[in-house]
Amino acid sequence: MKVLMTTWEFPPNKIGGIASHCEDLSKALARRGHELHVLTYGDKRDTTRPFEEYEITVHHVPVGYAPDTISWSMALGRAMEKKAIELQKEEKFELVHAHDWMTVPAAVGIKKTTKLPIVFTLHSTEDGRSGIHDKYTKMINDLEWYGTYEATEIITVGKDFSDEVKRLFSPPDEKLHYIPNGVDITRFENPKFFVDRKNYLGDWEKLVLFVGRLSHQKGVNFLIDAMPKVLEQHPDSKFIFTGSGALDYYRGLVNGKGLAHKAYFTGFLDEKLLPSMYQAADLVVAPSIYEPFGIVALEANAARTPVVGSYTGGLKETIVHEWSGLHHYNANPKSIADQINRSLDDESWRHWMGDNGRKRVEKDFTWTKIANWTSGVYGKAIGLW
């Protein structure tokens, strides 16, 4: 099938998680025999080039100045639509696959002019990310609704998240599909780049790792509040925070507790180093208060590392309690500390959970499997069944 995928970011441009998702998904779809064209934002020039050795063509469209992100998405939409009309004369796409609200204006514009059906993947919602509290956030919420309304099929990345989408936008049940994210396990097999544990902690210390944007949504403050109780029982533990975001703010919180020597903030870490970072960790913590999917848990498991994470959203599915990791109560520092302590208490249990997690990722969360499900949704979108 000939598919036109619209995403505001695609490698080498990577800012959020959508770039990686679109990269892995389009590779897997291409392997399955689909012909993928990716339409994405490009800095200054209008360029078209093949993507690595895969059967994927990437079209970059430039966008000029815009006063805010919503208006920018409108300009991006117009640029993408014009490109799509031009491409459609030669390529004859069968559907357009849009990711998140940023390319909703593009996808709908393409649908109205070329009559292609839309498959719309929602990765998160504005309501979950920041709440709807003014005209601006309401407009983003409206665009998300507009996407679900105009789409022929909707894909959500989590089961709980499907319910959230249903509650917010009331799409017909038969349009809504749950397809989890996948993990490229080959990245974790023989990483070419390594982090050196010695750079971060003493060899007597245990590495408790947080990976993600340093923000309220990711629950970083609850983890910091849990630190004293963990250190009381496990003075040999050390907390590494990997990711960009409000670095100074969280560093300040740690310093305020007098625990600066027990925490290290790496800032943004090159993606090539991440697999080895996960492998170096004794335990990964994902204390998010809102998480549609929770890829961190699966990435940790792919590196055979167990996870302590919130019982919320996608983490409910990506962690199996006491089997591939441990759940703690959402936004609850005492519960976070208890579960970290439980797992630090028992090394062999940790290894067992890590191995279980790895097997589960290999079985249930491979991109091949996800590409198969996605193909099914494509088939439904163009009326094959």
Partner 1 sequence: MKRALILSREFNPGDFISDYSKDIAIHLASSGMEVHIISFGERDEELKLSDRVTVHKVHFMLHADNFFNWVMLMNNELKRKGRELFEKVGFDGVYANDWTTAPAAISLSQLENVPLCVTIHSTERERGFNMPHSSMIADMEYDLATKTTKVFVESQRTLDSLVTDYKIPKEKIELIPREGQWQERIAQACGSVME
Per CB under 8 A, residues contacting partner 1 are: 64-68, 70-71, 74-75, 77-78, 81-82, 85-86, 105, 108-109, 112-115, 135-136, 138-139, 142, 146
Q: Which is nearer to partner 1, 24 or 127 (by Cβ)?
A: 127
Distance in Å, CB of 117 to partner 1, minimum: 14
Distance in Å, CB of 101 to partner 1, minimum: 12
Q: Which is nearer to partner 1, 67 or 383 (by Cβ)?
A: 67
Distance in Å, CB of 376 to partner 1, minimum: 28
299, 274 contact by CB (below 8 A): yes
Distance in Å, CB of 104 to partner 1, minimum: 9
Distance in Å, CB of 154 to partner 1, minimum: 18
Could you give the CA distance from residue 280 to residue 271 in angstroms, rounded to a whole number? 15
Backbone φ and ψ for 113, nearest 5 degrees, come out as: -95, -40
- Looking up tokens 């998702």 gives 21
Distance in Å, CB of 87 to partner 1, minimum: 12
Q: Which is nearer to partner 1, 85 or 260 (by Cβ)?
A: 85
- How far does Cα 32 stand from its chain's mean position? 22
- Looking up tokens 């993947």 gives 121
Could you give the CA distance from residue 309 to residue 299 in angstroms, rounded to a whole number? 13
Backbone φ and ψ for 118, nearest 5 degrees, come out as: -105, 135
Name the pairing type of β-strands 153-156 and 176-178. Answer: parallel
Distance in Å, CB of 216 to partner 1, minimum: 24
Could you give the CA distance from residue 270 to residue 86 in angstroms, rounded to a whole number? 37
Distance in Å, CB of 137 to partner 1, minimum: 9
Distance in Å, CB of 16 to partner 1, minimum: 22
Q: Which is nearer to partner 1, 84 or 240 (by Cβ)?
A: 84
322, 266 contact by CB (below 8 A): no
Q: Which is nearer to partner 1, 73 or 318 (by Cβ)?
A: 73
- Looking up tokens 């490698």 gives 11
Closest CA to 25 of 161, 160, 155: 155
Question: DSSP strand E in the chain: where?
Answer: 2-7, 35-41, 47-50, 56-61, 95-99, 118-122, 153-156, 176-178, 206-211, 237-242, 263-267, 283-286, 307-310, 325-328
Longest CA pairwise span in the chain (Å): 67
Pair of tokens at residue 17: 């998680």
Q: Which is nearer to partner 1, 154 or 353 (by Cβ)?
A: 154
Pair of tokens at residue 244: 């960009």
Q: Which is nearer to partner 1, 147 or 243 (by Cβ)?
A: 147
Distance in Å, CB of 48 to partner 1, minimum: 18
- Helix (H) or strand (E) segment spanning residue 153: strand 153-156
287, 218 contact by CB (below 8 A): yes
Name the pairing type of β-strands 56-61 and 95-99. Answer: unpaired
Q: Which is nearer to partner 1, 65 or 204 (by Cβ)?
A: 65
Q: Which is nearer to partner 1, 66 or 384 (by Cβ)?
A: 66
Could you give the CA distance from residue 260 to residue 376 in angstroms, rounded to a whole number? 51
- Looking up tokens 């959508």 gives 18
Q: Which is nearer to partner 1, 114 or 130 (by Cβ)?
A: 114
Identity (one letter) of the amino acid at 257? K
